[in-house]
Amino acid sequence: MNKFSKYNAYIGLVNSDTIPVSTPRMIVIDDFTTKIPETFDVVIKDKNKNLV
């Protein structure tokens, strides 16, 4: 998802009138998978609405 944020920022720059830039070329590949080397903490609520 990080790529989409960069794309949106680039589109904003394309539409600004301060710095002339060209529209980026982009391709989306559906079957691309990658392993994320980071760990994440999953936060959920129990039945008493306490964070676990």
Supply angle C-alpha 27, 34, 43, rounded to 5.
Answer: 115
In angstroms, rounded to a whole number, what is the distance separating the alpha carbons of residues 12 and 21? 10
Helices (H) and strands (E) in the chain, counts: 1, 0
Range of the domain at 2: 1-52
Per-residue tokens: 13: 């720059």
Write down the pTM of the prediction. 0.24
pLDDT in tens, 1-52: 455 567 777 776 666 666 666 777 777 777 878 887 888 787 888 887 776 6
The pLDDT, as a whole number, for residue 19 is 65
For the chain, what is the domain count? 1
The pLDDT, as a whole number, for residue 1 is 46
